Structure 1
Amino acid sequence: MNKQKSITSFFKRKEPENDTTPTNGDETPINGDETPINEDTNPMRTYSSIRGMSIIELDNVDISTLERDPGLRRPIWDYPVEKRNEIRRAYIKLKLYQPRLPDYPLSGPENHRRRFQSDWFNKFPDWLEYSPSKDVVFCFPCYLFAEPNARIKVFTSTGFRNWKKVNDGKRCAFLGHVGTGPCSIHKNAVLSFRTLPKQKSQIPNVLNKQNEKQIKLNRLRLKASIDTIRLLTLQGCPLRGHDESNNSDNQGNFREYRKVLATYNKDVAKAIRQAPYNSKYTAPSIQKEILHIISNKVRNNIRQEIGDSKYCILVDEARDESKREQMGLVLRFVDKNGSIRERFFDLIHVPDTSAATLKRELCVVLARHNLAIENIRGQGYDGASNMRGEWNGLQALFMSDCPYAYYIHCFAHRLQLSLVAASRDVSIIHQFFSNLSFVVNVVGSSSKRLDELHATKAAEIKLLLSIGELESGRGANQMGTLKRAGDTRWGSHLYSIQSLMKMFNAIVSVLEHVVGDKSCTSSQRGDADGALNLMVSFDFVFVALLMVEILGIADVLCQALQQKSQDVVNAVRLVSTSQALIQGLRENG
């Protein structure tokens, strides 16, 4: 009686008793390095190790965050079947990973150490890849297209590091991998590598047989969607609305702007009106994809501007509206024309704000765009401990990898911190700003009081113009309003005091009217009376005039330090000038 076999046992193959290393045509081991690579520690698994198991489910693969390092990426056969061609096209678009490092690590016996040579990229530019994390090389087309049971896994999963076999004439391991015959495994993989990108554009044309008119209409609709998204994104406007149904009176900015665009062109209007249900190019997923393509093109242009030159990184993190911690990355560099450029490069979500996490996420973004950490020549952060820490801060971690990446704390931010610390040490100044906020809140808490304030100020300006105290002219005597002081920007304190002094008489008149108005509640009249007593007191007026003088000097320095082009020598000169002015105010003011 024959034993019934299960499906799993049917697909299992018998493993050889002795594990042999893949060889080339001359039976020479391809990976014969004296320091063998431990496959157990390799995060990638070959197909033969999972044949009796289910393929790893990766339905939510993010194409934009694929691993570039060939020593760390997953085998192509670990992805679901329906995802593999999409993953292959994404990797082909990213191109080969060929980092050119100043020095590659040594390996081999102690008496004859060898290392990888960057010149090999020029000899084998179409397939050779290098993994900095494992100091091994891989074949890019074979990784994407070679069968999992092929006898070249050393160039697809484990990696090759036997450098002495490279420059060995006809017995070169790289030439042995390529093969001499027209149907070698490598050459078949290269053929698939070259033909796959063309299939995506050929198959729809063959199957759908769209005529030129329909293609033109589709492109016109897509162009209208792209132009609308570019306009809204440039202006910082949201795309979608609360109700985008056909019966809605307001379908959101994207659809409404697209309708307006169609009114100025008959062809666009016809293309939008005759759009079939499956090619309108208005779905949220289409909008996100267009935004993603635009952002990638912007990053690629920035990367081309940088080229091989040195650059600086400017980083700051904050929470967005959804309470997610976001880290903004700005690159500062000198372009080909010798001009200093600052470009916003990426917005990265980080799970926490520890220095190690921030560095890891930054390195992932920089490596994805082939920006070498060794080319960093400056770091710009705030004064938080996780940023400026001398031993474990973000700047210290980058300095350990690149000793020329000097850290600079923002001069304007340091000036702001100094002003805050100095003002808090003087109790009368601290009380003044508290009283200033109270006065602004009392006057600005009611729209009726604001209207009365503007009317009173307009009557005052009219009177001063009639008696010749003010000069008329275009842009002169503009109607202002009270400004609130913000904690994050110390310059706003100066603007708040100046707006108060400019409308001092009008504010006093409004507060006197509120105090005598019986229609107001007792608490309102009490607050108005307290604010009026504060404003007419000598201490309040004296400190206000004093702070206008001091903060006026500091504001000139603060605005100068925030210029796009600045150098350390000029900044030190500005600081010395400001110190001299404040010292002169102390001695002779």
Structure 2
Amino acid sequence: MSGAQKRKRKQREEALVQHQAGDMFKYFNSSKITQGEEIVENLGETSVEEEETWNDNVNEQGDLVDELNEDKDDHVDVNELNEKEEDNIQHKDSLINFYDLGCWDKIDQNVRDLLVEKGPKRVDGVLFPKDSSGRHFELSQYKRVLLNGETNDRRWLVYSVLLDKVFCFCCKLFKTQKTMSKIGPLGNEGYRDWHNMGRGLKNHEASKEHIYCMTSWIELETRLNKNKTIDQSVQIEINKEREHWRQVLKRIIAVVQRLAKNNLAFRGDCEKLYVENNGLFLQMIEMIAEFDPIMKEHIRRIQAHETHYTYLGPKIQNELIQMLANEVKSSILRKVKQAKYFSVILDCTPDASHEEQMSLVIRCVDYSANSVMVEEYWVEFLKVDDTSGLGLFTELKNMLTNLELDIDDIRGQGYDNGSNMKGKHKGVQTRLLEINPRAFYTPCGCHSLNLTLCDMANCCPKAMSFFGVIQRIYILFSSSTKR
């Protein structure tokens, strides 16, 4: 391939990765959260909406696992797709925006069934862009007014936000090579002549090609609703396979949740099942397989080399940990936004790699519990290169912007007694007070007490001698096991 083709494919892959971010939340119910710890209270209940959402990511080619994962290490990563299968990449690229007809390229029978089952999705509440003459698409075009005054819904008309064009849903799906030239732009590249939109829509819906596609759409939709399609037996097998993977994934999420909640290490010296020192994660999977038939079947497939997609590798573990962490952070932010007003607490500490890290703690009133309580939540570590007052304040301001928290809602700030934090002219508290005068500054009480005790001890010779003797006695006995 040429360089332009490679760049184009890379852009499609990056867009697909961004589109699939957070798709793991579609597989379980995370609505019940308590104090930011219990992420998924009820993994076993799946609503009808979740069933439909799952179908968006299920491989409709008849091979479920190829759509669930294109990575042998069980990580949804299109960067490792088989480069020889360009058609498969283009098919996945069409899922970037599933309901935008501008992304539809090649549509096979399985994808057509899924799209018909979902139905056309319209865009509402969007500011439609204007063309050079100042015209744009209007929502009134979705309705057709008959001569007798009745109004019919043009259900087949769909607007593409990506291309700023309108398409015919049924003609886009059911057109053939013979009817492609007669079906018009609504069924092919899209229609954007806003000045003649009314006349174009009337001519299109009166054409026999559109009527044929409309009939095919209604017939297929009816058969799908009654589960009387031609490949009904194949669809039953796909549903069974889908349910198997859903149950496997729920158990893996439960294991990841428990290990992460107890701050335990996941991996060991080896990443294989039934091997010594393979880590707590795989050992818990092995234990579950001894009593659970679903996990036992999953491990049997792995050992029999019936599947290469185990979902037990380190990448999927890290991805699940990150998703659970994001859910905890989201629950904390919901409580903070509900309380509206909050305080910030900052402190910097070098880590093991000698990099300065600033911990951000938010203090607010928690209304979610039965009794109203003041809670403190650690939010995130911030890596800082500039430890001056301006650098730390810039990091704080950027983080609040990323968390979608208003700096004007801060009612308190607490730091240590360092000059870069409490400085009256260039400290963090001064810079914050210049923007928000209501952010009352309070120095850290423990840090102030520590400094006070150190000064008291240093100004008294007896105290210095006393603590010096105790320190030497401690060193004498702690350096020897016999003593």
TM-score range, shorter chain: 0.5 to 0.7
Contact 2:273-2:286 at 8 Å conserved across structures:
no
Aligned-residue offset at 1:273: 3.5
The separation in 1 between residues aligned to 2:430 and 2:256, in whole angstroms, is: 41
Aligned-residue offset at 1:305: 1.3
* Paired position in structure 1 for 2:385: 351
* 1:340-385 CA distance string (max 9 Å, x none): 1111212222233233332333333322232111111111111112
* Paired position in structure 2 for 1:255: 282
* Paired position in structure 1 for 2:327: 297
Larger RCO (CA under 8 A, 6+ residues apart): 2
Does 1:321 find its partner at 2:352?
yes
The separation in 2 between residues aligned to 1:146 and 1:376, in whole angstroms, is: 45
* Paired position in structure 2 for 1:81: 12
Q: 1:392 to 1:404 in 2, by over 3 A?
A: same
* Paired position in structure 1 for 2:58: none
* Paired position in structure 2 for 1:282: 312
Which of 414, 425, 450 in structure 1 is aligned with 2:459?
Answer: 425
The separation in 1 between residues aligned to 2:313 and 2:301, in whole angstroms, is: 17
* 1:58-90 CA distance string (max 9 Å, x none): xxxxxxxxxxxxxxxxxxx99823212444566
The separation in 2 between residues aligned to 1:191 and 1:358, in whole angstroms, is: 49
* Paired position in structure 1 for 2:218: none
Aligned-residue offset at 1:295: 1.1
Identity, % of aligned positions? 26
* Paired position in structure 2 for 1:401: 435
Q: 1:81 to 1:212 in 2, by over 3 A?
A: closer
Contact 1:221-1:280 at 8 Å conserved across structures:
no
Q: 1:249 to 1:88 in 2, by over 3 A?
A: closer
Counterpart of 1:329, as a letter, is L
Aligned length: 293
Aligned-residue offset at 1:328: 1.4
Alignment of 1:126-525 (within 5 A): 179=138, 189=164, 211-245=238-272, 248-275=275-302, 277-308=307-338, 309-336=340-367, 338-449=372-483
- List runs of 5+ in structure 1 lacking aligned partners: 1-52, 58-76, 94-141, 148-170, 193-205, 450-589
Aligned-residue offset at 1:189: 5.0
* 1:375-431 CA distance string (max 9 Å, x none): 111111111122111121111222122111111111122111100111122223223
Contact 1:313-1:380 at 8 Å conserved across structures:
yes
* 1:253-309 CA distance string (max 9 Å, x none): 222233233334343333333345433222111111101111111111112212251
Contact 2:346-2:359 at 8 Å conserved across structures:
yes
Counterpart of 2:456, as a letter, is A
What secondary structure does 1:317 align onto?
A: strand
Counterpart of 1:295, as a letter, is A
* 1:421-446 CA distance string (max 9 Å, x none): 11122223223222212212222323
Counterpart of 1:82, as a letter, is E
Counterpart of 2:257, as a letter, is R
* 1:500-521 CA distance string (max 9 Å, x none): xxxxxxxxxxxxxxxxxxxxxx
Alignment of 1:80-99 (within 5 A): 80-87=11-18
Q: 1:248 to 1:191 in 2, by over 3 A?
A: farther
What secondary structure does 1:448 align onto?
A: coil
Aligned-residue offset at 1:146: 12
What secondary structure does 1:379 align onto?
A: strand
Q: 1:176 to 1:327 in 2, by over 3 A?
A: farther
The separation in 2 between residues aligned to 1:314 and 1:84, in whole angstroms, is: 37
The separation in 1 between residues aligned to 2:419 and 2:16, in whole angstroms, is: 46
Aligned-residue offset at 1:185: 6.9
Q: 1:226 to 1:185 in 2, by over 3 A?
A: closer
The separation in 2 between residues aligned to 1:299 and 1:447, in whole angstroms, is: 46
Counterpart of 2:324, as a letter, is I
Counterpart of 2:453, as a letter, is L
* Paired position in structure 2 for 1:540: none
What secondary structure does 1:286 align onto?
A: helix
Contact 2:412-2:440 at 8 Å conserved across structures:
yes
Contact 2:366-2:372 at 8 Å conserved across structures:
yes
Q: 1:437 to 1:56 in 2, by over 3 A?
A: farther
Alignment of 1:92-111 (within 5 A): none
* 1:228-248 CA distance string (max 9 Å, x none): 222222222222223334574
* 1:194-226 CA distance string (max 9 Å, x none): xxxxxxxxxxxx9x9662332233223322222
Contact 2:301-2:307 at 8 Å conserved across structures:
no
Q: 1:345 to 1:420 in 2, by over 3 A?
A: same
What is the RMSD computed on CA atoms of the aligned residues? Answer: 4.1
The separation in 1 between residues aligned to 2:6 and 2:421, in whole angstroms, is: 38
The separation in 2 between residues aligned to 1:267 and 1:92, in whole angstroms, is: 23
TM-score normalised by the chain length of structure 2: 0.52
The separation in 2 between residues aligned to 1:371 and 1:55, in whole angstroms, is: 42
Contact 1:178-1:187 at 8 Å conserved across structures:
no
For the pair shown, the structure with the greater C-alpha radius of gyration is 1
Q: 1:299 to 1:435 in 2, by over 3 A?
A: same
The separation in 2 between residues aligned to 1:221 and 1:271, in whole angstroms, is: 7
Counterpart of 1:356, as a letter, is L
TM-score normalised by the chain length of structure 1: 0.43
* 1:161-210 CA distance string (max 9 Å, x none): xxxxxxxxxx9x9x965546568775965989xxxxxxxxxxxxx9x966
What secondary structure does 1:268 align onto?
A: helix
* 1:556-576 CA distance string (max 9 Å, x none): xxxxxxxxxxxxxxxxxxxxx
Aligned-residue offset at 1:321: 1.9
* 1:538-572 CA distance string (max 9 Å, x none): xxxxxxxxxxxxxxxxxxxxxxxxxxxxxxxxxxx
The separation in 1 between residues aligned to 2:135 and 2:166, in whole angstroms, is: 18
Counterpart of 1:273, as a letter, is R
